[in-house]
């Protein structure tokens, strides 16, 4: 009896080991995809899919060992994303593998005329996809051209775009990193419309797709993040410029650091490095009308002085604090005015009203886009300069003082 029990246990262990790798796939059988571009197709109601696939041998080899590009690009057109991906098997020797996807690039024409809902269902449904990739929308370009461009700094262009987007948001703040979960959440929300960062191409797309684009110290064709696209429901409605894009990030509490220039009293500029912000959005309904208050606390250091100014005086720092506050408020007000003009609440002010007064929100939500255009928004900024740098006053202050003597 004991022997039968042992034999049975061994059998179960062997069976478990055998079934544990039933879904294993060899690397040589997979095409590792890092970026996908989705455009409006030429046929009615169709999509043009462009995928960027890593050439493993080229990426692993030493620089200059071969003349092959580090990535290959494949295209197919179909009515759905799923069909287009499957059709690529007719031209690809390997099965597409999605788990290393870094970027999804949506064509501007598709986003404006068709909408983005059509492409998101597959991305949210497929079990191979992780949701830590970013989505962007092209600006004055096609997604297929963007995906084909070879870039400096990283052999795999999608990795460069992924990292650049994160750094841009953290260091300059005119762009926003949007992952799939956040985008879908905004699309289904009653009180918030989605946004995506714009990506444009500067230069000739044909040159950008060739190896020579990365063989010189400066590429002839480059990719650059530019502005933020505002959506109404799932369609691209309008663009925020760089200044307005910063304003959006201030309101959303997404500014980690940026540079702000303040005019000096006697002419010239002083640059403040913003090192911390904290934003709070509060909502209330007064006499049936919603109101929003945005409170922002900002801290910064003096980063550069291009004028004659005495940083040792308290009144000078107070003036800089005021200049800092005015600059941030100007960005925020300009952004809110633009969003109101387009009738698209990209800030989630509707969600704030819902949280503060669910009963009143039920009355407002059906006509929220119209109510948003008349919404009273109060902006309060509290700015503080913490440090003036290691050298105190600029040598320009001393030079001007000597000249006056």
Task: State pLDDT tens for residues 306-350.
Answer: 999 999 999 999 999 999 999 999 999 999 999 999 999 999 999
Q: What is the mean pLDDT of residues 14-37?
A: 68
Element (H or E) spanning 15, and its range? helix 2-19
Would you say 134 and 178 are in contact if contact means Cβ atoms under 8 Å apart?
yes
pLDDT in tens, 143-199: 999 999 999 889 999 999 999 999 999 999 999 999 999 999 999 999 999 999 999
Matching residue, tokens 């969003």: 339
Q: What is the mean pLDDT of residues 79-97?
A: 92
Return the pLDDT at 127: 83
pLDDT in tens, 239-266: 999 999 999 999 999 999 999 999 998 8
- With vertex at residue 243, the alpha carbon angle to CA 308 and CA 336, rounded to the nearest 5 degrees, is 125
User: What is the number of other CB atoms lying within 10 angstroms of the CB of residue 9?
Assistant: 10
Return the pLDDT at 403: 57
pLDDT at 399 over 70: no
Q: What is the mean pLDDT of residues 217-226?
A: 96
CA distances from 371 to 144, 193, 286, 360, 405 (A): 39, 14, 13, 13, 61
Phi, psi values for residue 359, rounded to 5°? -65, -45
All domains in the chain, ordered by first residue: 26-240 (no CATH), 249-405 (3.30.300.210)
| pTM check: above 0.95 | no
Q: Average pLDDT, whole number, for the chain?
A: 90
- 376, two tokens: 């009273």
Return the pLDDT at 377: 99
Residue that wins the pLDDT comparison between 13 and 271:
271
- CA–CA distance, 247 with 329 (Å, rounded to integer): 8
- Sort 53 into a burial class: Cβ within 10 Å, 0-12 / 13-18 / 19+: buried
Of 339, 174, 315, the residue nearest 242 (C-alpha) = 174
Q: What is the mean pLDDT of residues 192-214?
A: 97
pLDDT at 24 over 90: no
pLDDT at 20 over 80: no
């Amino acid at each position: 009896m004991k022997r039968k029990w042992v034999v049975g246990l061994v059998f179960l262990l062997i069976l478990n080991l055998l079934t544990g790798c039933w879904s294993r796939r060899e690397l040589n059988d997979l095409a590792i995809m890092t970026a996908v571009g989705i455009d409006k197709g030429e046929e009615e109601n169709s999509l043009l899919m462009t995928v960027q696939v890593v050439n493993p041998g080229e990426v692993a080899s030493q620089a200059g060992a071969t003349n092959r590009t580090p990535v290959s690009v494949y295209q197919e057109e179909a009515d759905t994303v799923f069909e287009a991906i499957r059709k690529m098997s007719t031209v690809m020797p390997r099965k597409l593998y999605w788990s290393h996807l870094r970027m999804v690039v949506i064509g501007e024409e598709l986003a404006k005329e068709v909408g983005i809902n059509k492409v998101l269902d597959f991305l949210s449904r497929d079990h191979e996809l992780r949701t830590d990739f970013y989505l962007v929308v092209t600006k004055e370009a096609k997604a297929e051209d963007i995906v084909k461009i070879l870039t400096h700094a990283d052999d795999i262009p999608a990795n460069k775009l992924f990292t650049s987007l994160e750094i841009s948001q953290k260091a300059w703040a005119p762009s926003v990193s949007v992952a799939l979960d956040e985008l879908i959440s905004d699309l289904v929300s009653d009180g918030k419309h989605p946004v995506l960062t714009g990506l444009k191409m500067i230069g000739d797309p044909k040159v950008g797709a060739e190896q020579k684009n990365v063989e010189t110290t400066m590429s002839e064709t480059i990719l650059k993040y530019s502005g933020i696209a505002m959506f109404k429901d799932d369609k691209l409605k309008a663009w925020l410029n760089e200044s307005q894009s910063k304003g959006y990030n201030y309101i959303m509490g997404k500014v980690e650091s940026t540079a702000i220039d303040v005019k000096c009293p006697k002419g010239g500029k002083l640059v403040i490095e913003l090192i911390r912000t904290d934003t709070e959005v509060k909502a209330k309904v007064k006499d049936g009308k919603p109101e929003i208050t945005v409170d922002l606390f900002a801290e910064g250091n003096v980063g550069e002085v291009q004028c004659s100014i005495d940083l040792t005086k308290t009144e000078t720092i107070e003036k800089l604090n005021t200049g800092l506050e005015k600059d941030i408020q100007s960005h925020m007000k300009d952004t809110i005015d633009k969003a109101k003009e387009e009738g698209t609440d990209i800030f989630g002010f509707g969600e704030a009203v819902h949280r503060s007064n669910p009963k009143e929100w039920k009355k407002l939500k059906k006509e929220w886009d119209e109510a948003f255009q008349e919404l009273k928004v109060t902006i309060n900024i509290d700015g503080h300069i913490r440090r003036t740098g290691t050298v105190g006053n600029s040598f320009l202050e001393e030079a001007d003082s000597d000249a006056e003597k």
